[in-house]
Amino acid sequence: MPVHHFTLALVITCFASAGNAADSAEDCSSIVDRDTRLSCFDTFFPPTETASSPIEARQLLESESQINWFSITPHKPNYVLPATYNFSSDFSPYTDLGPYFNDAEIKFQLSLKTRIWHNLWRNSSLWVAYTQMSLWQLYADEEASAPFRETNHEPELMWQIPVDFSLFGMDARLTSFSLNHQSNGQSDPLSRSWNRLTGTLFLEKDRFVVSAKTWVRIDDPSNDNNPNIEDYMGRVQLGVAYKGDTHTFSTVLKNNLSSANRSGVELSWAFPLTEHLKGFAQVYSGYGESMIDMENYTNRIGIGIALTDWL
């Protein structure tokens, strides 16, 4: 090749490479050439070996799903339990419809989050999340007209910070601080709500993941209708999950740390049904399953499907 042709080709290549330079991962998706596009993505997401732990696997999936801004990813478990039965129902707060309600009802949870900022201090990131848990009286008497008996709304703003140290023989991987609001969207006398600052530490050991969470209430309890909410919804929460090859077992325990001790424990099991669908079984026993039922000691069992679990 003549020298001037070689020089021209080199200049064209350089300009093409400059045109394909990307300031963010989002820019890579507009590159037409497949190999160049892949190389661009590799710049922002270098190839790594298979995740070696449940937390690492979850973070890897979340990172991949957040290539585009405001992509949605699961937060807490997402599930539908078409059949649940409460062995200790208390419908007394519902003066008009309570007599028509059924101990059997549908329970489901929707929980999503999206990252709004990343590469902050110590590679931390800022997220917004929303969780909704509903109890649907589909099996109530016709006079009740199958209402949603209770829906708990929980939006939160979270700051997640990667960590790396050992504690009690486990590896600490992540901390999360959250500005959290929780309410049931009802009017008096059924209204329940509170605002909290929460802190959570996530640790792991082999296939086990442990989370330790605590919070402080930041609103004025003297100005609402549930000043004793911490006595029933708790002041600390401990979670343990085991990630098997195809099954996930988890338990969440919350406690009020008071001499009038009150706890609530939730046991869950996610298991394979089909290639893309998981079965889900759940047991709840104790106080604080939902905001309207927080003062009632609940014993509930349910079966259904899980779209996502903790891990």
133: tokens are: 């848990």
Beta bridge partners of 127: 115, 158
Query: Could you confirm whether 183 is annotated as catalytic?
Result: yes
C-alpha to C-alpha distance for 215 and 218, rounded to whole angstroms:
9
HSE at residue 151, side-chain half, CA atoms within 13 A, is 13
Beta bridge partners of 108: 80, 134
Do 128 and 70 touch, CB atoms closer than 8 A?
A: no
Distances (CA, A) of 92 to 33, 98, 113, 138, 282: 65, 6, 35, 18, 25
C-alpha to C-alpha distance for 175 and 124, rounded to whole angstroms:
10
C-alpha to C-alpha distance for 185 and 175, rounded to whole angstroms:
30
C-alpha to C-alpha distance for 10 and 18, rounded to whole angstroms:
12
Angle at 147 between CA 143 and CA 149, to 5 degrees: 115
Cβ of 257: how many Cβ atoms within 10 Å? 14
18: tokens are: 């400059």
74: tokens are: 């699961």
39, 65, 181, 263: the catalytic one is 181
Query: Could you confirm whether 29 is annotated as catalytic?
Result: no
C-alpha to C-alpha distance for 308 and 245, rounded to whole angstroms:
15
39, 63, 65, 183: the catalytic one is 183
Beta bridge partners of 74: 112
Q: Which residues are catalytic, by number?
A: 181, 183
